[in-house]
Amino acid sequence: MLLQAERESIVEFGKRISSSGLTKGTSGNLSIFDLDTRLMAIGPSGIGYYETRPEDVVIMNLEGDIVDGDKKPSSEYVLHATFYRKRPGVCAIVHTHSTYATTFASMRVPIKAVHYVIGTSGSATVPCAEYATYGTPELAENALRAMGDAKAVLLANHGLVTVGPTLAEAFSLAENAEFVAEIYYRTLAAGSPFILSDEEMDRVIGKFKTYGQPKKE
């Protein structure tokens, strides 16, 4: 089976985004890009995360052609392919409809640095892209432009997109973004949140570059 490991990883992390509450029902999607074959593995459209099997995951090229698989791909395959074409180093994407991030997306308000962990996105804010209909090239271009060099973006009236070199990192970032969105929402409800300064966030983002265990050569 073509890109079997990637297919199995998408099934595993699909269950994780569902069980963690980052998305509801069959909404959201995730993918992995293989640098060697220049192909992406992406979840199927409309199949529950706990019902998805590795063989249901669709293998596509970046022009939108199905290379392997008999299922219809996620409706957001254009968004995924656009990022892989235009953002070097991005090899995994997680798109969720998590409650608090989507609340801010629906207000078209960026998530601000009420907690330092937002720095895992490579930015002091999670910006919000201009609205476009789901599944369209316009949505993909809006998201790419708004995200810039960071790793997370809100889709207006839609949800959250996170990217990374691995699916595990993109998933972790989606969890962090939802956590900060919830804290931001709750502090706004309680009063006036104190937003960390750009100078402090520059320090935090620098520290995150060496966070965790050293990578083995």
Query: The domain that contains 158 carries what CATH number?
Result: 3.40.225.10
pLDDT beyond 70 at 20: yes
Q: Is residue 129 part of a domain?
A: yes
Backbone φ and ψ for 12, nearest 5 degrees, come out as: -60, -50
In 3D, which of 89, 77, 104, 106 has the Cα closest to residue 185?
Answer: 104
On whether residue 216 sits in a domain, the answer given is no
Within-domain flag for 202: yes
Predicted TM-score (pTM) of the model is 0.95
Q: Which band of pLDDT confidence, cut at 50, 70 and 90, is reported for residue 1?
A: confident
Is 162 part of any domain?
yes
The pLDDT tens digits for 95-144 are 999 999 999 999 999 999 999 999 999 999 999 999 999 999 999 999 99
**Tokens 């409706």 sit at which residue?**
75
Which secondary-structure segment (H or E) carries 34? strand 29-34
List of residues 6+ apart from 87 with CB closer than 8 A:
144, 163
Name the burial class of residue 203, with classes exposed (0-12), middle (13-18) and buried (19+) by CB atoms within 10 angstroms of its CB.
middle
Q: Domain range for residue 47?
A: 4-208
Is residue 114 domain-resident? yes
In whole angstroms, give the CA distance from residue 202 to residue 217: 28
Any idea which residues carry the catalytic annotation? 76
Cα 26 from Cα 31, distance rounded (Å): 15
Count how many Cα atoms sit within 13 Å of the Cα of residue 191 in the half-sphere of its side chain. Answer: 4
Total tally of structural domains belonging to the chain: 1
The answer as to whether 213 is a domain residue is no
Find the helix or strand (DSSP H, E) in which 217 lies.
none
Instruction: Dump pLDDT digits (tens) for 42-57.
Output: 999 999 999 999 999 9
